[in-house]
Structure 1
Amino acid sequence: MVKKLTATLFGLSALVLAGCGSEEPTGQQPPPPAVEVAQVSTEATTLWRSFTGRVVAPETVELRPRVSGYIDLVSFTEGALVERGDVLFTIDQRPYKAKLRAAEADLQRVRSELAFNTKQARRAQQLLDSKAISREEYDRRIAARDAKHAALNAAEATVENARLNLQYTEVTAPISGRVSRAQITRGNLANADTTLLTTLVSVDPMYVYFESDEQTFAASRNLLNSDARPPVHIGLAGEHGYPHKGQLDFIDNRLNSHTGTIQFRAVVSNPEGTFKPGQFARVEMPIEEMAQAVLIDSKAVLTDQDRRYVYVVTQESLTERRPVELGPRQGERTVIRSGLQTGERIVVNGLQKIFFPGMPVAPEMIAQQGQGSSAQAAGH
């Protein structure tokens, strides 16, 4: 029995050893991972920077009456567009019409008196020549005529003033634009030069004011000092990108000592009324022209604490970690100030497959994103 058990165990051991001896190491390594690479090149590029601004109407009027009186009529639709010269408010005209009639009547009286005094002065000259009146009487009549001339001038001025006051009872729009709501309604007293009736703002074109820091202003000085001010791109809240085109037309003459910024102004056409005073706007302005700029896809840039780097693929298809100095981000690309040379290949897609520098990869060449177009900023 023992002999049979021993023979069985020996047989099983032989089978196990035979099975183990049949496994041989293959020595094959997994293939290198495929990654997409792009070739570094340079191009002439205009660098843009984005700022936050506010929309302002070029003309804003707080409408106040020039004469006092009770509001008789409100002649506009609140929030509507009005043209220059349109009547917006009418003040009760009856007192001013009466004053005009009284001034015209007084003018007529003074004219009649002047005609009489002129005749008296003419007769006095004849009588003086014939020695029928004294010199004193002659001087008195001449003085009376001259006084009436002065009274006539005063009466004409009074009539003119009365006519102006009557005209001022119709409060008209001094500019074309959009009118606000009526601050005072029919039947209320409006005091001259005091009571606010409504406000009026121009609508086309519009201004966009924004501010730049001192460093950006210094970098863009060459562009901004040219006679032809550069164009700008403008976007509003809820809009994608910068769909509106404007023109830089004003740069302040000094920096704000409290904020260290300088103010810019762009003018933008607004025929559809898209821009409204008080809106926030995003403004994109060119700040630098580079004849030989290195721009790479922003996805290729990695971060290690406060350092930025990319993976360069060598001729032997090995990865090399390369620190780079970044410039501004331009849309989906980033300007590289230093660290890369023209012709080098960088990994754009598949970075998660690279576990250590020097790792072999299977590079697949692709075109750089946005290559051949002017760079445009994504943020500031």
Structure 2
Amino acid sequence: MPDYSLSGKPAFLRVFTLTALFSLSLISHGAHAEQNLPRVQVVQPEVRELTEWKEFTGRFEAVEMVELRARVTGYLDKVHFQDGQMVEKGDLLFEIDPRPYEAAVARAEAELARMDSQLKLADLDTKRGERLLTQSAISQEEVDTRRARFQEANANVASAAAAVKTAKLDLQYAKITAPVSGRISNRRVDVGNLVGSGDAGQALTTIVSLDPLHFVFDVSETEYLELIRLPQGQDQLANGRAMPTELKLIDEQDWTRTGRIDFVDNRLDENTGTLRMRVVVDNADGVLRPGLFARLRLPTSQNAEAMLVPDKAIVTDQAAKVVMTVDEEGKVIPKPVELGTLQGNMRVIRHGLEISDRIIVEGLLRARPGTEVNAVPYQADEQANNDGQDS
């Protein structure tokens, strides 16, 4: 029977066999130890050129909004519009019963005619008195009296003429027209009701312009300083040049709407510490309405190199933002970072990382600072499949 024991082999074969067995034991032990380490997936930062944006929330406002009130008192006689329709500047909207004001015009014109006849009489008396004065047939005092009566009659004519203008204005105000173009609201007063004039009277309706619209938003002191220190921020915000912007509604995914900043307030609000800004936005499609909320973004850098990491790799440690990295020895090293804008599912990192750092993306719950981990390359597709299975 063949002898397979080591004792029957030459010495060099016994040494070789023992060495191989020892090496296999070390490899097995190392693999077993690595298998017991927490497994994390890591990725290196991505560097690419991009345009960074700052996003804000605001509300649309009408460029022009008019609350229609009657300028004269009277009974509402006619309404010439449908609730909610578009109107043009100068369109007739309401009519107040004009008969009292037509009578007032006739009365004022009659008074003007009476004053005019008195003026002519006073003029004749004055001229006659001046001729008699040259013949010493009348005293100077009488001539002065006639001249004063002429001046009084002249003033009465001017006063009557002004009264005619006032009466005609009141008659004109009995027809209420649209002062601006836009969309009108519903009528607040029905035909037959008595409407008052001025602020004491009830508002009849409102009109708002729709194209273009204003988009109003507030920025903090820090955000304002960031914008004003851009390469062209001083010219665009401080010196009156329009800064381009992009907008989207709450149900829109893409930034398809554009506008331009045309107004920056002259002071920060003392209570909120914010600065009011305004954007002019075209509304050719008529979708936008005053009062709608929307998101706006401003470019803070253009075609600049930026370092990006997956946003889910960011960890919050009290007030600081931290990224977990793995060093050459396989130990977890936390690094505080300064965050930039969000680009899709990637976050811009302004400071705190090197391009050679290995960022933990998956397995953050198993990664403790200072502990050793088993770092493997991040597989986005694999993680997506795992998430689908878990769900």
**Length-normalised TM-score, structure 1:** 0.76
- Paired residues of 1:313 and 1:347 also in contact (CA < 8 A): no
- 5 Å-filtered alignment, 1:1-380, equals 40-43=46-49, 45-193=50-198, 194-223=201-230, 224-227=233-236, 228-287=241-300, 291-298=304-311, 301-303=313-315, 308-309=322-323, 323=335, 325-332=337-344, 333-342=346-355, 344=356, 351=362, 359=374, 361=376
Conservation of the 8 A alpha-carbon contact between 1:219 and 1:288: no
Q: CA deviation at 1:290?
A: 8.3
> How many pairs are equivalent?
337
Distance 2:42 2:380 in 1: 6
Alignment partner, residue 18 of structure 2: none
Conserved? CA contact 2:42–2:376, under 8 Å:
no
The DSSP-based 3-state class of the residue aligned with 1:255 is coil
Query: In structure 2, do the counterparts of structure 1 residues 341 and 125 end up closer, same or farther at CA, with 3 Å as the change threshold?
Result: same
Change (3 A) 1:255 1:39: closer
Q: Report how far residue 52 of structure 1 moved.
A: 1.7
Counterpart amino acid of residue 229 in structure 2: N
Q: Partners in 1 of 2:248 and 2:156 — Cα distance?
A: 64
Partner of 1:7: none
Segments of structure 1 that go 5 or more residues without pairing to the other structure are: 1-23, 367-380
What is the CA-CA distance between 1:297 and the residue it aligns to? 4.0
Report how far residue 320 of structure 1 moved.
Answer: 7.5
Structure 1 residues 135-191: Cα deviation after superposition (integer angstroms, max 9, x where no partner)? 222222212211111011001001000110000001111111111111111100011
**For the Cα contact (< 8 Å) 1:69–1:191, is it kept in 2?**
yes
CA separation in 2, counterparts of 1:118 and 1:348? Answer: 105
**Contact preservation (8 Å) 1:87, 1:173:** yes
Q: Is the 8 A contact 1:37 1:365 kept in 2?
A: no
For 1:336 and 1:140, the matched residues in 2 are separated by 95
> What secondary structure does 1:215 align onto?
helix
The structural deviation recorded for 1:323 is 3.0
SS in 2 for 1:152: helix
Taking the aligned partners of 1:112 and 1:80, their CA distance within structure 2 comes to: 52
Shift in alpha-carbon separation, 1:275–1:140, aligned structure 2, 3 A:
same
- What 5-or-longer segments of structure 2 have no aligned partner? 1-20, 382-391
**CA distance, structure 1, for counterparts of residue 380 and residue 99 of structure 2:** 87
CA drift of 1:255 comes to 2.2
8 Å contact from structure 1 (residues 78, 182) kept in 2: yes
TM-score normalised by L of structure 2: 0.74
Question: Which of 356-365 and 119-128 deviates more?
Answer: 356-365
One-letter identity of the residue aligned with 2:173 = Y
Compared CA separation, residues 365 and 169, structure 1 to 2 (3 A):
closer
RMSD of aligned alpha carbons: 3.5
Give a deviation string over 1:223-259, Cα, whole Å, max 9, x none.
Answer: 3432334222222222224321111122222222322
- Does the 8 Å CA contact 1:297/1:348 hold for their aligned counterparts? no
